[in-house]
Amino acid sequence: MVRKLAVVALIPLALGACAKTGEIDASGGGAGITAVRSACPHVAIPAGTGDITIFNPANSREASAIDVNAVMTNVTSKCDDAGPQVVTTVNFDVLARRQNADGARDVSFPYFVTVVRGGSSVVAKRINRVTVHFEPGQLRAQTTGTATTYVDRSAATLPDDVRKRLTEKRKAGEQSAAMDPLADPSIRGAVLSATFEALVGFQLTEDQLKYNVTR
Q: Please give the chain's pLDDT, 215 residues, in tens.
A: 444 333 333 333 333 333 333 333 333 444 444 445 678 999 999 999 999 999 999 999 999 999 999 999 999 999 999 999 999 999 999 999 999 999 999 999 999 999 999 888 899 999 999 999 999 999 999 999 999 999 999 888 887 777 777 776 666 555 555 566 666 676 777 778 888 999 999 999 999 999 999 88
Residue 65 included in any domain: yes
- C-alpha 146/C-alpha 77 separation (Å) is 9
Residue 169 included in any domain: no
pTM of the model: 0.75
- C-alpha 163/C-alpha 140 separation (Å) is 50
Give the CATH number of the domain where residue 49 resides. Answer: 2.60.40
Question: Maximum Cα–Cα distance for the chain, whole Å?
Answer: 76
| Residue 129, burial from CB neighbour count under 10 angstroms (0-12, 13-18, 19+) | exposed
Count of structural domains, the chain: 1
Closest CA to 88 of 142, 124, 36, 128: 124
Report the DSSP beta bridge partners of residue 122.
Answer: 116
Residue 123 included in any domain: yes
- Residue 86's domain comprises 42-154+198-214
Residue 114 included in any domain: yes
CA dist list (Å): 46 to 70, 73, 90, 92, 162: 16, 12, 14, 14, 30
- Would you give the DSSP letter of residue 41? P
| Phi, psi torsion values for 201, nearest 5 degrees | -175, 175
Residue 34 included in any domain: no
Residue 159 included in any domain: no
| Residue 17, burial from CB neighbour count under 10 angstroms (0-12, 13-18, 19+) | buried
Helix (H, G, I), strand (E, B) or coil at 46: coil
Contact by Cβ (8 Å): 179, 51:
no
Residue 13 included in any domain: no
Residue 108 included in any domain: yes
| The total number of residues written for the chain in this structure | 215
